[in-house]
Amino acid sequence: MSSNVRSNGVCRQKRYLMKILPTLVFLVTLTVLQRPPVFAAAAKPTASADWEKTVEAAKKEGKVVVSVPASADLRKGIEKNFKQRFGIDAELNVGRSTSIVGKIQQEARSGVSEFDLHMGGGESLITGLLAEGILAPLPPAIMLKEVNDPAQWWDGHIWLDNAKRFIYASQAYQVENIWCNSDMVKPDEIRSLNDLLNPKWSGKIGYLDPRTPGAGSSMWSFLLRLKGEDFLRKLAAQKLLLGRDQRLLAENVAKGKIAVVMGLSYYSLLPFAKAGLPVRSVHTPRDETYVSGGSGNVSIIKNAPHPNATKVFINWFLGKEGQETYSRAMGQATRRLDVDTQWLKEFGVLPAKDTLKPEEYPKLENQSEEKISKYRDAAAELARKLFD
């Protein structure tokens, strides 16, 4: 073959490559953009040796200090399973979210932190810790592939904060907003929120105080968004029996002191339901039920005193064993796809991963920084006007 022929062939190949190069660049870019997001600081799988070094360093620190929801089952489950797995103590602080958050705030102002992590409801995390710059970015603590991989989670990774760095939502489920004493309420007497305005229920409805952060205020803001201010004024006129102790409200409906209760986290009612007392959920249309993350939102406190134990705990908690421990104890539904949540439906909890499409989540969720900043303040102000 002559040199001229070879030269012409090379020139044609170059022209062809130049012609298709823009298309190749476009396809590669599109592929990258369509890949599911991961924890930015954990894009590379952590070497086993690095993880083992972290665990050993955590053992030398001796413990991790975590604030958790008030649940004896959760406390026992974490203390047993976490220590059994790693040989590290989990020092758990249990209490009302507002009280714990207040303590963490005081420590931050004094420059001395005793807490490593906090898990709880979205509102107290966002308004009490995120707003004051007390939280540390969570992605750098993620070391295990099973946690980092978005394919392990329903709808990938979900964050409550707008920056998508500080508050991770491990749970997502719809829970019946209304519970009743089945000896006092017939199955067809309450089928929607509007039925609560029946004069028959005046003075017989308990409600977790919507003036303070928690499940009560979360539901109150959802009702404002869904039904409007006029509905809430009519509901308040039903002489709601407000309380700030979830367990006491649950006990009152279980023992028939009140007929209906609203705004409670499911785990408060679980012991009474398991004990066979006449407590049951009231089924309402799906669009009258918001998607909650319960108390399964987790964050790391800035300047955590036990940084290695913090990493070990967060990877355990967001792994299969940690999420199973939490879901079983709290009666809340994890988003992890490798943890069974079908059993929760028996108790009126509808796991998002078993019942919803991912595109429905943004419409029904009620705990993100965006939703809280848009609706919670207005709802809380209305509650204060009606009940103060």
Supply the CATH number for residue 268's domain. 3.40.190.10
Same domain, 204 and 325: no
| Of 124-133, 178-187, 235-244, 341-350, minimum mean pLDDT range | 341-350
Q: Is there a domain that residue 27 lies in? A: no
Q: Is there a domain that residue 359 lies in? A: no
Q: Is there a domain that residue 28 lies in? A: no
Q: Is there a domain that residue 121 lies in? A: yes
pLDDT tier, 240 (very low <50, low <70, confident <90, very high otherwise): very high
Ranges 46-55, 77-86, 118-127, 341-350, most confident:
77-86
Phi, psi of 71 (to 5 degrees): -145, 120
Tell whether the model's pLDDT for residue 40 goes beyond 80: no
Tell whether the model's pLDDT for residue 29 goes beyond 80: no
Same domain, 345 and 297: yes
Q: Is there a domain that residue 162 lies in? A: yes
For residues 256 and 285, the model is more confident at 256
Same domain, 56 and 167: yes
For residues 50 and 40, the model is more confident at 50
What pLDDT score does 277 carry? Answer: 94
What pLDDT score does 149 carry? Answer: 97
Same domain, 304 and 165: yes
Instruction: Please list, in sequence order, all residues whose beta carbon lies within 8 angstroms of the beta carbon of residue 382, skipping any fewer than 6 positions away.
Output: 224, 229, 232
What pLDDT score does 48 carry? Answer: 85
Total domains present in the chain? 2
Mean pLDDT computed over every residue of the chain: 87
What pLDDT score does 38 carry? Answer: 57
Domain that holds residue 325: 40-171+293-351
Name the pTM for this structure: 0.77
What pLDDT score does 123 carry? Answer: 85
The tens digit of pLDDT for each residue in 201-225 reads 999 999 999 998 778 888 899 899 8
Q: Is there a domain that residue 34 lies in? A: no
Mean pLDDT of 233-248: 95
Same domain, 55 and 157: yes
Same domain, 214 and 152: no
Q: Is there a domain that residue 161 lies in? A: yes
Mean pLDDT of 89-112: 90
Mean pLDDT of 337-349: 89
Q: What does the alpha-carbon distance between residue 159 and residue 297 come to, in Å, rounded to a whole number?
A: 9
Q: Is there a domain that residue 224 lies in? A: yes
The tens digit of pLDDT for each residue in 58-91 reads 999 999 999 999 888 999 999 999 999 999 999 9
pLDDT tier, 96 (very low <50, low <70, confident <90, very high otherwise): confident
Same domain, 229 and 165: no
What are the contacts of 281-284 at 24+ separation with CB within 8 A?
Answer: 281/175, 281/176, 281/178, 281/179, 281/347, 281/348, 282/176, 282/178, 282/179, 282/180, 282/185, 282/190, 282/191, 283/176, 283/191, 283/348, 284/176, 284/177, 284/178, 284/190, 284/191, 284/192, 284/193
Mean pLDDT of 256-267: 89
Query: Following CA atoms 44, 48, 159, 156 in sequence, which dihedral angle do they give, to the nearest 10 degrees?
Result: 70
The tens digit of pLDDT for each residue in 273-295 reads 889 999 988 888 877 888 989 89
Same domain, 131 and 197: no
Mean pLDDT of 316-341: 96
Same domain, 202 and 342: no
What pLDDT score does 242 carry? Answer: 96
Same domain, 237 and 251: yes
The proportion of the chain whose per-residue pLDDT surpasses 70, expressed as a percent, equals 88
Same domain, 231 and 154: no
Same domain, 187 and 232: yes
Tell whether the model's pLDDT for residue 228 goes beyond 50: yes
